[in-house]
Amino acid sequence: MQKISDVASGESRHSPVEQLWLIPIALTLGILARRYPLFPDNSHIAMNAFIIGISMPATILQKIPSLTFSPELALIAAMPWIILAGAAVFFIVLGKLLKWPQETVWSLVLVAGLGNTSFVGFPILMAYYGSDSIAYGVVADQLGTFLAMATVGSLIVATKSPVQQNIHPIRRLFIFPPFLALLAAFAMRLGGMQLPDNITAPFAATLTPLALFATGFQLRFSRIGKNAAPLAAGLFWKLAAAPAIVAFLYAPFLSNAGLPYKVSVLEAGMGPMITSGLLAVSSGLKPRLAGLMIGIGTPLSLITTWLWQLWL
């Protein structure tokens, strides 16, 4: 656990309160920037391109080569993969029943299937369970959520995106910057190499604030309209069904009074992953729905995770 703890301490350079305050501040600044035109209307295109092309690859190159794993942590690492697989089944079936477009279904799989287990997750874990919980949170985030986003998320974008349909999905996957960064990161890990932190860290640090700002910039509450049903389904899955499923599945294997169980359930109930939301937006997978999922789901998760920890 030592190396995992080291990674955890590197993730928490700011206090939990500071990290949580950045969520409403960055979202609000993005909304205000659009309402009082400080930026051109199409600024979000450049923001999304920077996030996908620079911020995400830098984060992958910073995190993946230093990952450690041990068998006893397998259940915690598996949790995000279980939630993502469950989301795929849930939304594919629901989409067929309600005759939703494929873009709606896969946008929800991508955004509601992955949680914000680090930027929002770590401060919440620290607040409720103390610093000992962060090491388990890092396992759930890096071996679970982050790796699932970089692999399965990249595959969804490459095969389901309505953008660049003239390019073969396999080629789209291999020209997708986060996927290329993931291949490079695994190669570096096998070779025992890692880029200096002073190269990757400054660019990786732009990911969350810029993603939140870009989400606020694109957020339109007046556009809920026909997105109301998918939005409600996505929020229900991510904030209620996902943690309930993990609580049920993990009860026979982990003590429900122990920290690994509590971390697994609470991380399963974190709001939608900001990065996967931006992936959906930039790839044309129902951008308005993805933006609403992040803009509403992120602050709402602060309430629902409080309720879950009361139950735990």
Q: Report the candidate in 72, 111, 304 with the shortest Cα–Cα distance to residue 215.
A: 111
Number of folded domains that form the chain: 1
Domain that holds residue 90: 2-311
pTM equals: 0.75
Structure tokens at 282: 């930039």
At residue 62, does pLDDT exceed 70?
yes
Q: Write out pLDDT tens, residues 254-264.
A: 877 788 899 99
Q: What is the CATH number of the domain that holds 254?
A: 1.20.1530
Structure tokens at 34: 């659009």
Quote the pLDDT of residue 71.
56
Q: Which residues pair with 115 in a beta bridge?
A: 272
CA 255 – CA 10 distance, rounded (Å) = 29
∠ Cα 71 75 81 (to 5°)? 120
Q: Write out pLDDT tens, residues 24-37.
A: 888 889 889 888 87
Q: Write out pLDDT tens, residues 156-197.
A: 888 887 776 556 656 766 777 877 887 888 888 888 888 888
Lowest mean pLDDT among 43-47, 200-204, 226-230: 43-47
Q: Write out pLDDT tens, residues 231-253.
A: 999 999 999 999 999 999 999 88
